Amino acid sequence: MQPWIASFPVVECSTLGNSLAAAFVDHVRDGGDGIFELVEARRDRSMELILANVRTERPQRSVVTIDRVEPIAIVFGDGKHGPCVLALREDFPDTPHQARLPKGMPFCICIDDRPWSEAKSSYGPAELGHRILQWFRKAARGQLHDAAQPLEPFFSLQSPYELIMPREAWGNDADKVAELIGIVQDQQRPTMVTLLPAKERQSANPVISVIAYDLSAETMSRMRQAPATLADLAEETLRRGLDIVADLKARLKIWYADETRRAALLNSYPCILLRLPMINPITGHMEGLDTVGFMVEGTVGDIGVALGLFYSDRSSDLNSIGYQLRFPAGDPDLDALRLEGCLIHGAFDTQLARAISGVASPVLGKAVMIGAGAIGSAVAEILVREGAFDSMSVMDDDTLLPHNVSRHTLTSQEVPRPKATSVGQRLKFIRPDLDVSAIDANFLAEPSPEAQALLHAADIIVDASASVAVGRALSDLAGHARRVSIFFNPTGTAVVLLAEDQDRRIDLRALEAVYHRVIQTEPMLENHLVDSEMIRYTGACRMLTSRIPASRVQVLSGLVAGGLSRALGSCEACVKIWSLGEEGVVSLVTPQVDLAIEHAGDWTIRMPDTLSAQLAEERLKRLPNETGGALLGIVDPQSKRIELVAAVPAPIDSTEAPTEFVRGTMGLRETVEAAIARSAGQIRYVGEWHSHPRGSSSQPSTIDIEQLTWLSTTMAGDGMPGVMVIVGENEARHLVGTFR
């Protein structure tokens, strides 16, 4: 009989008060499948034990030394936790899925990893017996750990104490130590302690000195029983290749020699932090880190006393430090220092964010987010929580108003503060190690030196302003940063992503043209840019906002954030449009993105390859006759740029012949006006196109030159050049005419 079991007095099984314990006794007495043999029952205060022998049904050749009959104890507590099963044989084998208990207690097998609050409603004596038997069957066959399960931690402690530890605690230099303070944020959970740098401490907060160690990588194994003293821990770590006693002696000698910090260090409270890389026994791959902390009962100086280096001297007249160097050193007594194991939570930082999000290749580098409205704040927050970016700057000159809170990540507490500043602070609160800055300025205004520096240094610039002017200005901005634009459509039923390629050969202006081209050609996007129902949020003129529920904003923001992350993980340019149906069904349109044929002069004219291919196809369909029609595009008079978007085919009253084409007018105005309306006024009529007959090039004829002259005169009234595209046998040619 093990001493721990013997301390529980024997009682009659009929007097058991725990309902599950009593039901299990009845189950075994009623037959219990012939698996269990009752031995006796014991009780001590709120804890009841059933001792039994279990027929393990092991195979003839067991992988580990499981006996055919194993003595066990089933421990039933106060009902807040499930039953605990102890293997009573003192030489019970070391297997996976055993819980760590303090030294001196029997080994504990893990028959169920579910929280008791979830499991207890369906837990009965038959299931309890089945789970015990299953554990022994699998242990004997070497099947306890399934390949799909995460690795068992080496230091798996049953501890009520949890520490939230910043990554800076992991310092291994003997002359350095992470000095932290412990803060209990919730008095209802005093065992959950957040550790912060000591420089932030108040006078009432004691300092905790973290002594961190990295152990060598281990194939999945475990510490069988939790160390109760520093001697136990030293013995366990020595088996893992770490002489913690020698290292502590070296550290304490260095710290004692530091006269400026000696008193603070020796009177701080030590936490020994251990970290062990885990290797999967099946794959052989490294799979995570196991981390545990041990708070030592006493101070750092008390460790020196236990090591025989110091003696305690609390005479304030002689020694304000409280410890004196012992010479010669005395014999160590590590059993004198007790330990309390603590579960360790790494503070949320970039590394943890990337590990938890599971994003294979998180977006790295320096980012600038232009626009801190609903989509900008939501996407920035999602990406920061996923570990994206090493630094982020937020630029916006707007102020948070009450109606913004409906769809914004900020709260009423930030009204009426600048959006950029508040969003930047929120991102910093989420991921404290993220380098965050805020620029409360309009991107289209003259940028400050600070803003210029951030934009010049950026690797990625995200336009979330929902401003056409900002997108175009950003496209023209000098610098190496890759540009991305994200925005909702007016009704908030869709979200759009425009992402340049890595080398910026296809810029945002070209992608804007691709976007409008797909709106003209994709039936499901016919109403994509229809104006939403507006609501006035104050009495001033033009103070209107769209009616868009936060639920749609959240869904669409998540879609575009994921798309943005994937787009930046690729070198290619892309345009993506996610549309959200009434029942939450998402439709994705991804048009082809390619380089544009460019004509450079006083005006820059670009035509995407897809439009050129469409015109070539129209020519082939109408051969041997010539054909043609109108051209639609995006015009920016300030920068003198025209992005060709679409071509209207020949009206039905046109004249098509092998050597002549005269474009008609029937229905043309209605077709062009419908296209303009479909683009919300972003495209317009810009010129004409026509084809040449079989075997002819795109070289303009005398008649073509005359028509271009007429077209240039006509378009001059709008301050535009006349644009003509001629489609020949092998190519399409731009002609641009200006009237002076």
Is residue 537 pLDDT above 70, yes or no?
no
The answer to whether the beta carbons of residues 196 and 180 sit under 8 Å apart is yes
CA-CA distance, 249 to 331, in Å (whole number)?
12
- State the pLDDT at residue 153: 42
Band of residue 145 on the pLDDT scale cut at 50, 70, 90: low
Query: Tokens 């401003």 — which residue?
Result: 467
Give Rg (Cα) of the chain.
37
For range 425-450, the mean pLDDT: 92
- State the pLDDT at residue 725: 93
The answer to whether the beta carbons of residues 394 and 439 sit under 8 Å apart is yes
- State the pLDDT at residue 536: 60
Tens-place pLDDT, residues 215-227: 776 654 555 567 8
Buried b (16+ CB within 10 A) or exposed e, 197-225: ebeebeeeeebbbbbbbebeebebbbbbb
- State the pLDDT at residue 614: 92
Band of residue 109 on the pLDDT scale cut at 50, 70, 90: confident
* pLDDT above 70 as % of the chain: 89
CA-CA distance, 209 to 584, in Å (whole number)?
52
For the ranges 93-107, 114-128, 416-430, which has the lowest average pLDDT? 93-107
Half-sphere exposure of 577 (CA within 13 A, CB side): 24
- State the pLDDT at residue 284: 65
**Chain-wide mean pLDDT for the chain?**
86
Is residue 582 pLDDT above 50, yes or no?
yes
Domain 353-589 fold is: Rossmann fold (3.40.50)
Is residue 156 pLDDT above 80, yes or no?
no
513 SS3 class:
helix
Half-sphere exposure of 286 (CA within 13 A, CB side): 7
Q: What is the pTM of this model?
A: 0.80
Tens-place pLDDT, residues 10-41: 999 989 988 899 999 999 988 866 889 999 99
CA-CA distance, 697 to 700, in Å (whole number)?
8
For the ranges 345-349, 672-676, 687-691, which has the lowest average pLDDT? 345-349
Nearest C-alpha neighbor of 394 from the set 384, 407, 404, 406 = 384
Pairing between β-strand 69-76 and β-strand 84-87 as defined by DSSP bridges: antiparallel
CA-CA distance, 726 to 734, in Å (whole number)?
7
The answer to whether the beta carbons of residues 568 and 363 sit under 8 Å apart is yes
For range 263-275, the mean pLDDT: 87
Query: Tokens 């450079």 — which residue?
Result: 600
CA-CA distance, 641 to 655, in Å (whole number)?
32
3-state DSSP helix/strand/coil % of the chain, to nearest 5: 30, 30, 40
Is residue 231 pLDDT above 70, yes or no?
yes
CA-CA distance, 340 to 297, in Å (whole number)?
8
Tens-place pLDDT, residues 330-358: 888 898 899 888 888 888 888 888 888 88
- State the pLDDT at residue 274: 85
CA-CA distance, 160 to 494, in Å (whole number)?
48
CB-CB neighbours of 655 under 10 Å: 12
> 213 phi and psi, to 5 degrees?
-135, 140
Tens-place pLDDT, residues 618-647: 999 999 999 999 999 999 998 899 999 999
DSSP string for residues in 214-267: EPPPEES---SEE--BHHHHHHHHHHTT--HHHHHHHHHHHHHH-TTTHHHHHT
Tens-place pLDDT, residues 202-216: 556 778 888 888 877
Is residue 401 pLDDT above 60, yes or no?
yes
Does 353-589 match 3-141 at the fold level? no
Pairing between β-strand 494-499 and β-strand 47-55 as defined by DSSP bridges: unpaired
> 686 phi and psi, to 5 degrees?
-125, -10
Domain 596-737 fold is: Cytidine Deaminase; domain 2 (3.40.140)
Structure tokens at 575: 């345009």
Is the link from the previous residue into 624 a cis peptide, with omega within 30 of 0?
yes
Pairing between β-strand 84-87 and β-strand 107-109 as defined by DSSP bridges: antiparallel
CB-CB neighbours of 103 under 10 Å: 12
**Alpha helix segments (H runs only) across 499-587:** 508-521, 550-568
CA-CA distance, 632 to 77, in Å (whole number)?
78
CA-CA distance, 510 to 151, in Å (whole number)?
50
Residues pairing with 270 in the sheet: 209
The answer to whether the beta carbons of residues 306 and 337 sit under 8 Å apart is yes
Sign of the C-alpha dihedral, residues 500, 506, 511, 517?
negative
- State the pLDDT at residue 150: 42
**Alpha helix segments (H runs only) across 489-549:** 508-521
Band of residue 264 on the pLDDT scale cut at 50, 70, 90: confident
CA-CA distance, 192 to 370, in Å (whole number)?
39
Selecting from 3.40.30, 3.40.50, 1.10.287, 3.10.110, what CATH number does the domain 3-141 have?
3.10.110
> 607 phi and psi, to 5 degrees?
-130, 120
Q: What's at 138, amino acid-wise?
A: K
User: What kind and span of H or E run contains 165?
Assistant: strand 162-165
Give residue limits of the domains in the chain.
3-141, 162-347, 353-589, 596-737
For range 594-607, the mean pLDDT: 83
- State the pLDDT at residue 2: 72
- State the pLDDT at residue 201: 52
CA-CA distance, 332 to 353, in Å (whole number)?
43
Give how far the C-alpha of residue 678 lies from the chain's centroid of Cα atoms, to the nearest Å.
37
